[in-house]
Structure 1
Amino acid sequence: METMSLQEVWDRVVGTQPDPPRWLVAATGIAAILAVLYRPVWRPLRTVVTIAHEGGHALAALLTGRRLTGIRLHSDTSGVTVSVGKPTGFGMVLTAFAGYVTPSFLGAGGAALLVNGHITMTLWVTLLWLALMLLMIRNLYGAFALIVVGGVVFAVSWLAKPDVQAGFAYLLVWFLLAAGIRPVIELQQLRRRRQAQWSDADQLATLTRIPGAVWVGLFALLSATAFGTAAGWLLA
């Protein structure tokens, strides 16, 4: 079996690849949107969104000086990130805010990489995100979910042909962009039925005295803006 030096691996990751055909970009976009809209497919794939969501909480906590103590992912696609620090103030607000917008922001970041030819890098940045989360995971299902998703991404990035890599990377980015919007809609539906009293939006309302509906609207605005902006890049 042929081996690769670290330099060759690095060159492979940071190098650029040819742009895929326009039809592939459009087809993966349509497939991702359908996956988000079709409930039987959305249900299992929602774990991917939860990974991004909880990772966003964790990153915001670390960036604002809070001490991250653990992340849990559950089989019902919910999750929780626990950090220790001042219970009020900017750090807590940013930590609570980050979850719902992170999938869309990650999708936009991935789109920026893809339009510059960094298909393999997009997949390896995803692997890095998953690996760092795995260090902080505190339950068996969460570890299992991260390993399975990471294993799929690694297999595609290392073993698949360039056209398969491109299709998978574009599908992943489109999915994050589209999937960032649906949980915000679901959140407001739960809030309307008074079934989400401890949601991120309601925590933010308690922290800032700004109504939870305003925070939900901001989540929706940012997610929709990220989708529209990144879609323009990908389809240009």
Structure 2
Amino acid sequence: METTSISELWDRVVGTQPDPPSWLVMATALIAMGAIVPNGLWRVSRNVVTIAHEGGHALVALLSGRRLEGIRLHSDTSGLTVSRGRPTGLGMILTAAAGYTAPPLLGLGGAWLLASGHVTALLWTAIGLLAGMLVMIRNAYGALVVVLTGTVFFLVSWLGADRVQAAFGYAAVWFLLLAGARPVHELQRKRGQGQATDSDADQLGRLTHVPGGVWVATFAAVAVVCLLGGGRWLLGL
């Protein structure tokens, strides 16, 4: 019985689900936009972007051979990822560049899974990434946010019908794709006001001798390209 249950669970995760109706795809895009544009909702929903941002730093730090010390998520939606290794070089450059590009790139990967009909696989991939991130969280607020987010994904994947899973998955992916540009805009606005002098873009500027503004433009370009590509997949174009 246990073997059968594991096999059924595996088949459920890697199996495909029917494509949702086009009205649901469009409705979830509007819902995602509604969580991004109003400032009041953005102050809450931006926590999800921070999780993806710091998770991007952490994952690339590990992949580039750096030693990950820990991740902190703060109630003002800022975050900090600390890794040890060479203070210069390709690994440090990739780690610094991974933050602002992570949300739209994750959205693009999610759009590919959804376009392939792998809604449940998308949800369980998110759960796995959140579980791995939780191990490296070093403050209570960060742990709370990650646990709550992971719990929502788990409940939807375990209890939700196919239509519910599809709606949640599409809304989450639309959110990552659409939300990718707003933090970049906020970063440039702060830089224009003389703030955020130690931002990812400015760190990259010091590491590469390429102006920070060019890196901001690069972040924005990644967000736009991912939105266009991911949007085409989600809309079935």
The two structures have a TM-score, normalised by structure 2, of: 0.97
The alpha-carbon distance between structure 1 residues 73 and 4, as it changes in their structure 2 partners (threshold 3 A), is farther
Q: Percent identical across equivalent pairs?
A: 59
Please report the RMSD computed on the Cα atoms of aligned residues, expressed in angstroms: 1.0
Determine the structure 1 residue equivalent to 2:176.
176
* Partner SS state of residue 76, structure 2: coil
Q: Please state how far the C-alpha of 1:41 moved relative to its aligned partner.
A: 1.1
* Partner SS state of residue 95, structure 1: helix
Pick which of 31-40 and 60-69 moved more.
Answer: 31-40
Determine the structure 2 residue equivalent to 1:126.
126
Q: Distance in 1 between matches of 2:64 and 2:173?
A: 27
1:71-110 to 2 correspondences below 5 Å: 71-110=71-110
Tell me the amino acid that sits aligned with residue 65 of structure 1. Answer: G
Determine the structure 2 residue equivalent to 1:116.
116
Determine the structure 1 residue equivalent to 2:37.
37
Cα deviation code 1:25-54 (max 9, x no counterpart) = 011012112221111111101000000000
Q: Distance in 2 between matches of 1:7 and 1:69?
A: 36
Q: Please state how far the C-alpha of 1:162 moved relative to its aligned partner.
A: 1.2
Determine the structure 2 residue equivalent to 1:209.
209
* Partner SS state of residue 37, structure 1: coil
Tell me the amino acid that sits aligned with residue 208 of structure 1. Answer: T
Q: Distance in 1 between matches of 2:10 and 2:95?
A: 33
Q: Please state how far the C-alpha of 1:161 moved relative to its aligned partner.
A: 1.4
Determine the structure 2 residue equivalent to 1:144.
144
Cα deviation code 1:111-151 (max 9, x no counterpart) = 00001100000100000110000011111111000000001
**Paired residue total:** 234
Tell me the amino acid that sits aligned with residue 232 of structure 1. Answer: R
The alpha-carbon distance between structure 1 residues 11 and 89, as it changes in their structure 2 partners (threshold 3 A), is same
* Partner SS state of residue 82, structure 2: strand
Q: Distance in 1 between matches of 2:222 and 2:107?
A: 12
Q: Distance in 2 between matches of 1:146 and 1:155?
A: 14
Any stretches of 5+ residues in structure 1 without a counterpart?
none
Any stretches of 5+ residues in structure 2 without a counterpart?
none
Q: Distance in 1 between matches of 2:72 and 2:35?
A: 25
Determine the structure 1 residue equivalent to 2:7.
7
Q: Please state how far the C-alpha of 1:55 moved relative to its aligned partner.
A: 0.4
Determine the structure 1 residue equivalent to 2:58.
58
Q: Please state how far the C-alpha of 1:4 moved relative to its aligned partner.
A: 6.7
Tell me the amino acid that sits aligned with residue 78 of structure 1. Answer: S
Q: Distance in 1 between matches of 2:141 and 2:195?
A: 25
Q: Please state how far the C-alpha of 1:13 moved relative to its aligned partner.
A: 0.5
Tell me the amino acid that sits aligned with residue 151 of structure 2. Answer: G
Q: Distance in 2 between matches of 1:192 and 1:165?
A: 41
Q: Distance in 2 between matches of 1:61 and 1:16?
A: 33
Cα deviation code 1:144-187 (max 9, x no counterpart) = 00000001110001011111111000000000001111000000
* Partner SS state of residue 87, structure 1: coil
Tell me the amino acid that sits aligned with residue 36 of structure 1. Answer: I
The alpha-carbon distance between structure 1 residues 40 and 90, as it changes in their structure 2 partners (threshold 3 A), is same
Q: Distance in 1 between matches of 2:134 and 2:71?
A: 9
Q: Distance in 2 between matches of 1:221 and 1:84?
A: 29
Q: Distance in 2 between matches of 1:4 and 1:169?
A: 27
